[in-house]
Amino acid sequence: MKSLIGIKRGMTRIFDESGRDIPVTVIEAGPCTVCQVKTPETDGYSAVQLAFGERKLKHTTKPLQGHFDKAGMPPAKVLREFPPDGEHEVGDVITVEIFKVGDKVNVAGTTKGKGFTGRMKRWGFHGGRASHGKKDQLRAGGSIGASSDPSRVIPGMKGAGRSGNARRTIPNLTVARINPEQNQIFVRGAVPGPRNGTVYLTKNS
């Protein structure tokens, strides 16, 4: 298995053998349990479904409860399908030890939601210059019209709207350290999402 589900715990820094400062993100990855193995004969496609975390029984719907009962495992917080890699059976446990220092991983998560924002904050516009009679146009986005022809706003124009809360994948992050005792993996650089947000790690082949 080349994939794992985890929780972003925050950022810190570590030092290598030469004393260089390395910024890293700490991810508590796994252990994940194989909840279902899908095959083309039964489901029409191949996938391995991993379960991660704990979910209270009172917060579990009856269809999900039946799904977990069929797998013989307690309710999990996160279910996620990944492409199969080798032979897996229901009940197999995947840990952070599938990775090693130096591996390249892709980390996917949901970015922080910032709500409805203006064009300046959403797109990083620098606004107008603060001279030559400017008064209240410093944080304006500028004209968006297209004159009398075509007399409409062109689709795709960068305007105000919802910012953040989008799925993002950061590719080719380097594994800097692994702590199997605490199910922790340290990846060099930043990953999307807030602290305690769910992330998905996939090792580059």
CATH of 32-94 given 3.40.1120.10, 3.30.43.10, 3.40.190.10, 3.30.160.810: 3.30.160.810
Of 2, 62, 70, the residue nearest 32 (C-alpha)? 2
Of 112, 93, 102, the residue nearest 5 (C-alpha)? 93
In this structure, what DSSP letter does residue 8 have? Answer: E
The secondary structure of 16-73 as a DSSP string is -TT--EEEEEEEEE--EEEEEEE-TTTTSS-EEEEEES---GGGS-HHHHHHHHHHTS
pLDDT in tens, the chain (205 residues): 789 999 999 999 999 888 899 999 999 998 999 999 999 999 999 999 999 999 999 999 999 999 999 999 999 999 999 998 888 899 899 999 999 999 999 999 999 999 999 999 999 988 888 888 777 778 888 888 778 888 888 888 999 999 999 999 999 999 999 999 999 999 999 999 999 999 999 998 6
Task: Give the domain ranges of the chain.
Answer: 1-30+96-113+164-205, 32-94, 117-160
pLDDT of residue 73: 92
* Omega before residue 192 within 30° of 0, cis: no
Domain with residues 1-30+96-113+164-205, CATH architecture: Beta Barrel (2.40)
pLDDT of residue 30: 82
